[in-house]
Amino acid sequence: MTDPAAVARLTEDLTAGLKTGDLEDFYRDLHRHPELSFQEHRTAARLAARLRAAGFTVTEGVGRTGVVGVLANGDGPVVWLRGDMDALPVREATGLPYASTVDGVMHACGHDCHVTWLAGAAEALAAGRAAWSGTLVAVGQPAEEAGGGAGVMAADGVHARFPYPDVVFGQHVVPGRTGCYSHTPGLIMSASDGVEVVVPGVGGHGSRPESTVDPVVTAAHIVTRLQTVVSREVAAKDSAVLTVGQFHAGTKSNIIPAEARLALNLRSQDDRVRERILTAVRRIVEGECQAAGCPVPPDITVVPGYPNTVNDAALDREIAAVHRELFGADSVFDFGPEMGSEDFSLLAPPGVPYDYWYVTSTPHEVWETVPGETDAERFGNVPDNHSPFFAPDLSVLAPGVRTLVSAALSRLTA
């Protein structure tokens, strides 16, 4: 059993010399130069350089653009720390002096924080290696946002090519008053699936709709009908989200197109609920197309995305206890399962325990001025991940390093 107080003291010793100015400079550089999924060449090179300088044996190009650094330090457990590296196709609107210099691309989900935390934790643990024994593996993961980078790394043999993990740790920056750390034992994030739908029609001139089968109207009926799936076919006790994120049809206002395309996103926390929703989607799409007289059946393709993220409950409780010792009892809370999704769990081989938590990052001056009398009300009114206004406070960089360092030390042999 981990001694939370002892781990916290050792963490404070190993991170006492953190150079916050250096961390901030590194973070600002990453933020200025965001890269999309599987395009993280510059980011990967920057991370790899810091790991090498700290004494890690580094391999680049794992899972296309991933980075793996290994620091063998005697007998003991193998601990993996993960930081994802990719940005989003979002045009930044923060007005920050270090805002993105890449038009239409932004670190709107905070992965620049994650890379900074990973680099800082790896350096602190390497500098303090006399205090622990085991093997530390730092994983810079590509393409969390769109490409399933963790799965690609696994397919590229990351578990066979590098020391096999005894435990895997990760964390994510989120909105909320700075100085809080959310731990959830068990289910913490939902599964995600995509559904691509092609609605067939009969195209023609806009002046003669009677000679066509308009797929735009059919698709519009489908979109409207889909809004009843969660509200009328999923039990109130179950959590699910069904979103129509894309609707594409037509090229000109006076042309009725021959097809319309929809892209759906499904979030679920239970396999039975997932199957019920997918069955309803198929029934609705096929039924509306039949009612409209479409010339052929619709094409419906389910694109599996990410599985549920389920923390090892005992491990999460231990790491939460360590973080309470580090940051204060009131700083750690259980936010509960959420509908967001991640591929982090794919980095942990079956049977290997993992733990994933959140670090809040909204500047106090912002938090105190947003509408709402309670923290829960304010939470819904601050810029969230994927917002063009998302801007984590720089004060979270050093604590985010300490959360990772302390998690690693909880398992590495003293």
Please give the share of the chain, as a percent, with pLDDT higher than 90. 93
> Which residues 6+ apart lie within 8 Å of 1 measured at CB?
318
Task: Please answer whether residues 50 and 118 qualify as being in contact, where contact means their C-beta atoms are separated by less than 8 angstroms.
Answer: no
At residue 146, the pLDDT reads 78
Q: Which residues are annotated as a binding site for Mn(2+)?
A: 109, 111, 145, 172, 386
User: What does the alpha-carbon distance between residue 206 and residue 278 come to, in Å, rounded to a whole number?
Assistant: 34
pLDDT at residue 374 in the model: 84
Q: Which two tokens stand for residue 194?
A: 């995509």
Mean pLDDT value across the chain? 96
Residue matched to tokens 């959420």: 338
Closest CA to 303 of 106, 151, 86, 83: 151
Q: What is the spatial distance between Cα 198 and Cα 298, in angstroms, rounded to a whole number? A: 6
What stretch(es) of the chain map to CATH 3.40.630.10?
A: 4-189+308-409
Confidence of residue 378 (pLDDT cuts 50, 70, 90): confident
Residue showing tokens 């670190």? 107
At residue 368, does pLDDT exceed 90?
no
Question: How far lies 153's CA from each of 1, 42, 109, 219, in Å?
Answer: 32, 18, 21, 37
Q: What is the pLDDT of residues 1-43, one digit of tens each?
A: 579 999 999 999 999 999 999 999 999 999 999 999 999 999 9
Note whether 168 and 350 are within 8 A (CB).
Answer: no
pLDDT the model gives residue 141: 98
- Distant-in-sequence, close-in-space partners of 224: CB < 8 Å, separation ≥ 6: none
pLDDT digits (tens, 9 = 90+) for 227-280: 999 999 999 999 999 999 999 999 999 999 999 999 999 999 999 999 999 999
d(CA 130, CA 331): 30
Q: Say if residue 414's pLDDT is above 80.
A: no
What is the average pLDDT across 95-122? Answer: 98
Can you give the pLDDT at residue 130? Answer: 97
Hey, how many other C-beta atoms are within 10 angstroms of the C-beta on 333? 15
**Local structure of 266: helix, strand or coil:** strand
Give the pLDDT score at 1: 54
* Distance in angstroms (rounded) separating the CA atoms of residues 44 and 217: 46
Q: How far is Cα 404 from Cα 95, in angstroms, rounded to an integer?
A: 30
Q: Which residue has the tokens 């259980």?
A: 334
Q: How confident is the model at residue 375 (pLDDT cuts 50, 70, 90)?
A: confident
Cβ pair 354, 408 in contact under 8 A:
no
Q: Does 4-189+308-409 carry CATH code 3.40.630.10?
A: yes
Report if pTM > 0.95. Answer: no
Q: Which residues of 51-63 are buried (b: 16+ CB within 10 A; e: fewer)?
A: beebebebebebb
* Residues 45-67, mean pLDDT to the nearest whole number: 98
State the pairing for strand pair 181-182/134-141.
unpaired
Q: What is the pLDDT of residues 167-202, one digit of tens each?
A: 999 999 999 999 999 999 999 999 999 999 999 999
Q: Which pair of structure tokens corresponds to residue 365?
A: 């001056």
Instruction: Tell me the C-alpha distance between 133 and 272, whole Å.
Output: 44
pLDDT at 300 over 70: yes
Q: Which residue has the tokens 């090519």?
A: 161
In this prediction, residues 46-53 reach a mean pLDDT of 98
Q: Which residues are annotated as a binding site?
A: 109, 111, 145, 172, 386
CATH number 3.30.70.360 is the correct assignment for the domain at 191-306: yes
Using DSSP's 3-state secondary structure scheme, residue 134 falls into: strand
DSSP letters for 320-369: HHHHHHHH-GGGEE----BS---SGGGGSPTT--EEEEEEEEE-HHHHTT
Q: What is the mean pLDDT of residues 85-90?
A: 98
Cα 116 → chain centroid: 16
- Phi, then psi, of 192 in degrees rounded to 5: -135, 135
- Where are the domain boundaries for CATH 3.30.70.360 in the chain? 191-306
Rounded distance between C-alpha atoms, residue 357 and residue 176, angstroms: 14
| pLDDT(83) > 70 | yes
Question: Would you place residue 132 in the very low, low, confident or very high pLDDT band (cuts 50, 70, 90)?
Answer: very high
Band (pLDDT 50/70/90 cuts) for residue 379 is confident
